[in-house]
Amino acid sequence: MVHHKVCPLCASEKIKPHFRCTDHLVSKEVFEVFKCTDCSFEFTQDYPGETEIGKYYESDDYISHSDTAKGFSNKIYRLVRNLMLKKKKRIIISHTCLQKGRILDIGCGTGYFAGEMKKAGWLVNGIEINKKARDFAISRFGLEVISPGQIDTLKAGSFDCITLWHVLEHFHDPFKYSSDILRLLKPGGSCLVALPNSNSYDSGYFEEFWAAYDVPRHLWHFNPSSFSLFSEKSGFILKNIRTLPLDVFYISILSKKNRGSKVPFFTGVLQALPFAFLSAFNRRKCSSVIYLLRKPSDQ
Ligand SMILES: [Zn+2]
């Protein structure tokens, strides 16, 4: 178990229990989410270390790593994913100002996003910890995918863009990854990090039932303000914030399920509508945020 005595982000001692969250997906165990009163960063407390966390990913429902089309929520997930793939590609082209380039997708899962970029003519590398997902990405999309332990085999300063779609919150050592990313990017290169937003309208409404807490798989629960501090400490320039506006529907359906709704699809979609509407006017309160970072061009 990993226990934090101080805030993992700003090292403040002013941390306190915020919510008790249940692992609804796999173990049904309860984990505490702590919050730092100085920097507003939230993190899972007393979570399994790197060698013990594997069993908390052992679920057929863990859709990021499997490709099952079974079940209603998986079907919705796939529909949303296909819409979002196009949007992600558009954001990359506009943020990098490149029609084609070299991209690394960290935590590429089954490779759908990396495959989309390859189809658009980009040179693509992927990193994925799960062997089954890795093998799928290689055979389905013909991608070059390595395991995280092989990250040092990638050439420093060789990527125009590095993406992390909902993966940084899973890493035991996000600061190690951020220094790897800085090293691998070209000077002035782009990094896109998508994360759930613990200061969103939906997280405020669902509180400990908010599905994106996803303990103990999600260790860090960033919001735009705490992520801004993280990017600054990591040596990046935070250029802009974009959103993944459909994620709130998926998260709200799962959150309703966590709260015991008998018709979570119906109640979740209804509940998500005002959140989706309001966050169109306030990106910093959207359920799912994409942070557009740049490596300083003099490095
Ligand atoms: Zn803090």
- Distance (Å) from CA 72 to ligand 1 centroid: 38
In a domain, 9, yes or no: no
For 145-160, the pLDDT digits (tens) are: 999 999 999 999 999 9
In a domain, 250, yes or no: yes
- Distance (Å) from CA 38 to ligand 1 centroid: 5
- Domain holding 187, by residue range, is 15-294
- Distance (Å) from CA 232 to ligand 1 centroid: 14
- Distance (Å) from CA 18 to ligand 1 centroid: 13
Q: What is the pLDDT along the chain (299 residues), one digit of tens a residue?
A: 999 999 999 999 999 999 999 999 999 999 999 999 999 999 999 999 999 998 998 876 554 544 556 677 677 777 878 888 999 999 999 999 999 999 999 999 999 999 999 999 999 999 999 998 999 999 999 999 999 999 999 999 999 999 999 999 999 999 999 999 999 999 999 999 999 999 999 999 999 999 999 999 999 999 999 999 999 999 999 999 999 988 899 899 999 999 999 999 999 999 999 999 999 999 999 999 999 999 999 87
- Distance (Å) from CA 6 to ligand 1 centroid: 8
In a domain, 1, yes or no: no
Rounded Cα distance between 267 and 170, Å, is: 28
- Distance (Å) from CA 33 to ligand 1 centroid: 13
- Distance (Å) from CA 228 to ligand 1 centroid: 12
- Distance (Å) from CA 111 to ligand 1 centroid: 34
pLDDT at res. 298: 82
In a domain, 7, yes or no: no
How far are the Cα atoms of 23, 103, 176, 181 from residue 131, in angstroms, in the given order? 23, 21, 22, 22
pTM score: 0.93
pLDDT at res. 79: 80
In a domain, 132, yes or no: yes
- Distance (Å) from CA 201 to ligand 1 centroid: 22
In a domain, 216, yes or no: yes
Mean pLDDT of the chain: 93
- Distance (Å) from CA 292 to ligand 1 centroid: 22
In a domain, 10, yes or no: no
- Distance (Å) from CA 127 to ligand 1 centroid: 29
In a domain, 299, yes or no: no
CATH at residue 220: 3.40.50.150
**Total of domains in the chain:** 1
